[in-house]
Amino acid sequence: MLILNMSLYTFTYQATYTVVHTLYEFLELLYYFIYNCYQILVNLYDKYAATDDQQYVARNVKSLKLIPTHITIILANEKPSYKDLSKLILWCISSGITYISFYDHKGILKNSEEKLQEAVEEVKRDNVHVVWLNKNRYKNGFVGKKIYVRTLSLADGRENIANVAKKFCADNVKNIDIETIDRNLKEKYVFPDPDLCLYCGKIFSLYGYPPWEIRLTEFISIETHHSISPRKFVNALYRYSKTEMRQGR
């Protein structure tokens, strides 16, 4: 009788274990299936939402008399949000802005630029070409919209100043003035000087941004680039346009 009870107990235990284990594997597979479906839907939503946002921006900047050629973003102390930064790139394209640069004095963005490139590739259209200056990418004969993107860090300004100083020493330059230094520093940059700077944070600070580039730049606070809306971006362009018109530029 004892042996029969032990056999029954063993059978019940093994059967219960098998059922629970099978149920667990089924639920695990079901979870991954639902999760993958969710990710696909999120990606599709992001793609269509990005298209709607671009149309909103393009529609609302038509009435602006002045659009900046180069817009730069100072991230301040914020951690880069690649998804939101990719939105800014697409909105610049919709606005007719040719150049956009991002300044992260900590160097996090520049060291992880590939993540930003991937975020842009996920939502941009096929007829849009993004030229990444740090990668020297360019497509000859490309037909479609084009924007130039550059990432900067605190090290860029210091490195360029050091290189200019070395050049002066190598060329044995005798008369060095502000104009000479400014001209040599500008030769290091392919981009034109930024017309508009959108800076994050409530307190304005350049965080070491190269000062020779921003003498005529208009500065507007966006508080944060995280979850930035197309409306806030358009409002910044409106403010820039009105300021430029008042100053008669």
**CB-CB contact of 116 with 82 (8 Å):** yes
197 exposed, middle or buried (CB, 10 Å; 0-12, 13-18, 19+)? buried
Go through the domains of the chain in sequence order and give each one's CATH number: 61-247 (3.40.1180.10)
pTM for this predicted structure: 0.69
End-to-end, the C-alpha distance of the chain in Å comes to: 102
CB atoms within 10 A of CB 89: 21
pLDDT in tens, the chain (249 residues): 545 556 666 767 677 878 888 888 888 888 878 877 776 766 565 555 667 889 899 999 999 989 999 999 999 999 999 999 999 999 999 999 999 999 999 999 999 999 999 999 998 887 888 999 865 544 444 556 789 999 998 887 555 555 555 555 555 555 665 555 555 545 555 678 899 999 999 889 999 898 777 888 999 999 999 999 999 999 999 999 988 554 545
Q: What is the pLDDT of residue 138?
A: 47
